[in-house]
């Protein structure tokens, strides 16, 4: 069975069992009303005229941290949301507090009663370290620190199994400053080597490190009246008639397709792959996708980085992608709509907010530069059936207001 068949465009079609040893037992359950149903095949006469699967919108609890969890869920259900992106944090289903199994079962019943789907998110800022944002990470130098993050993700999978969640979200983490500095120095050394062209590298905020001026190849002389990237003029033809078409031009040979450049920091990539391996094993047992998010400034920051991780891990079936639409606007070379199309085969979870190019700041919908109708049309056209979750983690002070205005905004954009 192919991965596309197994996951049905983002919807989980099976249920697993089994409990990892890293956390208190959390039993699995099947047939959850809040889960995404498998698509029902249409009769052949209607299939080619079927409309795209309707989008399902949710709101992230990391944007409702001033509300008790039950109050936040009730608000979202009353507003008409289809689901919730549940960030495990000290105020919302603390994964490290006592009585986790009982609290999780209670939450599962509440989600069922409200008819809300759920994804489990693990981006809480200080859940493991009260002094270091998102620390420790999956790529920290100390094995014991990486193990703490791995254990948290395994526990998140167990919680997701009990809740009947559609996906578990995670991200790589930020390189330590010492390793970022070392990577920049190596890039400079490569740029100075005359025997080979410098490789592209990325700094801590995904800003390419410029090569020294001396390393740049000299530009050929150019006619000052000619635009910088213009095609050189053709020699004049010798046609006797001004109406005779010029001889056909010889097309330029197609450029060879280069191999994607290997990202820098190979040791950190090995740490990431090793740290995720036991999490993916537990996700396979639970039959829940682990949806990795490219995060600006992190080791895994782009769609290209996600594919590098897939290659390192030999493309496991339960490894999927969390696509943040704002991040696409911030730093991807493709437009957000084209990012959706490119990511479709691996899409397991979607986060959405507005953003501006080059600035990693989550903005309320309509306050940035994203043209949402084409993005949502592309998402619907892929057949994606998972949740599309509004993520405004810095707007909890106005969380109910933002939740109230976001759903009509998205509904209008999806139908325009």
Given a contact cutoff of 8 angstroms between Cβ atoms, the answer to whether 95 and 132 are in contact is no
Given a contact cutoff of 8 angstroms between Cβ atoms, the answer to whether 327 and 360 are in contact is yes
Given a contact cutoff of 8 angstroms between Cβ atoms, the answer to whether 33 and 59 are in contact is no
Measured between alpha carbons, how far is 394 from 397 in angstroms, rounded to an integer?
A: 8
Measured between alpha carbons, how far is 39 from 149 in angstroms, rounded to an integer?
A: 35
pLDDT tens figures, 257-311: 344 567 789 999 999 999 999 999 999 999 999 999 999 999 999 999 999 999 9
Beta strands of 191-318 (E only): which ranges?
290-292
Q: What is the dihedral of CA 158, 164, 167, 169, to 10 degrees?
A: -50
Least confident interval from 57-66, 118-127, 254-263: 254-263
Is 4's pLDDT higher than 80?
Answer: no
pLDDT tens figures, 370-408: 999 999 999 999 999 999 999 999 999 999 999 999 999
Mean pLDDT, the chain, rounded, equals 80
What are the C-alpha distances in Å from 106 to residues 93, 121, 310, 393?
10, 18, 36, 25
Measured between alpha carbons, how far is 365 from 374 in angstroms, rounded to an integer?
A: 14
pLDDT tens figures, 6-37: 343 444 333 333 333 344 434 433 333 333 33
The total of other beta-carbon atoms located within 10 Å of residue 133's CB is: 10
The verdict on pTM exceeding 0.85 is: no
Helices of type H across 206-265: none
Residue 256, phi then psi, degrees to nearest 5:
-65, 140
Given a contact cutoff of 8 angstroms between Cβ atoms, the answer to whether 272 and 308 are in contact is no
Instruction: Give, for 147, the enclosing helix (H) or strand (E).
Output: helix 143-163
Which overall architecture, per CATH, does domain 3-13+55-176+263-415 show?
Alpha-Beta Barrel (3.20)
- List the chain domain ranges: 3-13+55-176+263-415
């Amino acid at each position: 069975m192919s991965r596309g068949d197994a996951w049905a465009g983002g919807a989980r079609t099976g249920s697993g069992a089994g409990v990892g040893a890293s956390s208190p037992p959390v039993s699995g359950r099947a047939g959850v009303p809040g889960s995404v149903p498998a698509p029902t095949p249409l009769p052949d006469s209607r299939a080619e005229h079927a409309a795209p699967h309707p989008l399902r919108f949710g709101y992230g609890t990391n944007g409702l941290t001033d509300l008790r969890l039950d109050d936040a869920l009730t608000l979202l259900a009353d507003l008409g949301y289809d689901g919730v992106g549940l960030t495990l944090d000290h105020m919302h289903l603390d994964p490290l507090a006592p009585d986790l199994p009982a609290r999780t079962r209670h939450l599962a019943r509440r989600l069922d009663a409200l008819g809300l789907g759920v994804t489990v998110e693990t981006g809480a800022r200080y859940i493991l370290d009260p002094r270091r944002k998102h620390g420790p990470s999956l790529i920290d130098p100390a094995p014991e620190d990486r193990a703490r993050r791995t254990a948290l993700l395994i526990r998140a999978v167990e919680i997701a199994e009990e809740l009947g969640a559609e996906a578990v979200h995670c991200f790589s983490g930020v390189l330590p400053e010492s390793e970022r500095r070392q990577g920049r120095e190596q890039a400079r050394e490569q740029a100075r080597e005359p025997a080979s062209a410098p490789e592209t590298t990325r700094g801590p905020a995904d800003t390419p490190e410029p090569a020294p001026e001396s390393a740049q190849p000299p530009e050929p002389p150019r006619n000052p009246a000619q635009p910088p990237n213009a095609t050189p003029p053709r020699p004049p033809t010798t046609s006797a008639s001004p109406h005779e078409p010029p001889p056909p031009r010889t097309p330029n040979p197609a450029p060879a397709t280069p191999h994607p450049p290997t990202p820098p920091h190979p040791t950190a990539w090995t740490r990431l792959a090793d740290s995720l391996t036991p999490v993916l094993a537990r996700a396979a047992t639970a039959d829940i996708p682990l949806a990795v998010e490219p995060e600006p400034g992190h080791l895994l920051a782009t769609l290209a980085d996600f594919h590098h991780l897939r290659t390192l891990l030999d493309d496991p079936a339960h490894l999927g992608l969390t696509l943040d639409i704002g991040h696409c606007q911030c730093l991807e070379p493709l437009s957000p709509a084209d990012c959706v199309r490119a990511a479709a085969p691996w899409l397991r979870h979607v986060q959405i907010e507005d953003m501006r190019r080059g600035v990693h700041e989550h903005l309320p919908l309509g306050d940035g530069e994203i043209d949402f109708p084409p993005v949502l049309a592309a998402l619907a056209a892929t057949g994606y059936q998972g949740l599309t979750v509004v993520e405004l983690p810095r707007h909890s002070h106005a969380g109910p207001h933002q939740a109230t205005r976001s759903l009509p905004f998205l509904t209008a954009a999806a139908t325009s």
